[in-house]
Amino acid sequence: MASSNPRGERMAGRRVLITGAGSGLGRELALNYAARGDRVACVDLYADRAEETRRLLSGGGHLALVADVGSDAAMAALKAQIQGAWSGLDVLVNNAGIACGGECAHTSIAEWQRTLNINLMGVVRGVREFVPMMEAQRNGLVINVASFAGLAGAPGLGAYGVSKAAVVAMSEGMRAELLPKGIRVSVLCPSFFKTNLLESFQGTSDAPMKHMAAKLMEKSPIDAADVARYTVEQAERGRFLLLPHKDTRSRWLLKRWLPGMYFKELLKYVAKNSQKAK
């Protein structure tokens, strides 16, 4: 069976599973992989969305499957479906996630738990169910979708940023654990871009933050198709940290080398965009 390998050489006809594939970035990732000749399992919480994505894909052999990444039982059942249909997996994209806004001290425990259960534990469940398949094959690729908020925390995104920072940390550890086993890992950390993530937005003080996020998404120079294309291309090249926004690459360097200056610039950026969002 053709597959990924640790040197980043691409082989055709791989078996690709994408969670949250029913819309937005997940759908665009599915389109990219299908266009490359891969078979894609489009996994979503909603059957109609998964099926709609499947119908849009070029080529054949694609699957539309329903699973809740927040459920142990659902992810175990998904594993059984993939094992039965394909007898293995070559590429796992842990993309499903939700948005949450609010200051740390004013975000309810329920909102913390919901956000962490989907954004972090959803990735954990995907890894636990499917990486052992790749270990048995001695090859594979895992792409975990985090956020730039996971690299550089921002006010008003407490629970969301924490969940994504945990995904980044997990990915770093996985990279070292899995490379000797022939499995590559990439972590995607986009900033705001045009997508439907705000459909899931919740939070104790969600209205102002949601409004600002919507404004930043609208003014983004790239959309989900751009992010997906960049992600697939760079992951194929073996890059670990994927930063599709050019401005976040410079901001990430600034935070690493001049953290004090970065914090001052962050305060200015937040104040500026808060005023524009009003």
Q: Could you read off the pLDDT of 221-238 as tens digits, one per residue? A: 688 999 999 999 999 999
Active site residues: 160
| 264 found inside a domain | no
Residues 6 or more apart whose CB falls under 8 angstroms from that of 148 comprise 189, 190, 191, 243, 245, 248, 251, 252
Number of structural domains, the chain? 1
| 43 found inside a domain | yes
Of 6, 246, 2, 20, which Cα lies nearest the Cα of 142? 6
pLDDT tens string 148-191: 999 998 888 889 999 999 999 999 999 999 999 999 999 999 98
| 4 found inside a domain | no
| 215 found inside a domain | yes
CATH of the domain at 213: 3.40.50.720
Q: Which two tokens stand for residue 194?
A: 């045009």
| 263 found inside a domain | no
Tell me the residue range of the domain where 144 lies.
15-251
| 8 found inside a domain | no
Give the whole-angstrom CA distance, residue 49 versus residue 60.
Answer: 18
| 106 found inside a domain | yes
| 50 found inside a domain | yes
pLDDT tens string 13-46: 899 999 999 999 999 999 999 999 999 999 999 9
| Local structure of residue 22 (DSSP, 8 states) | T
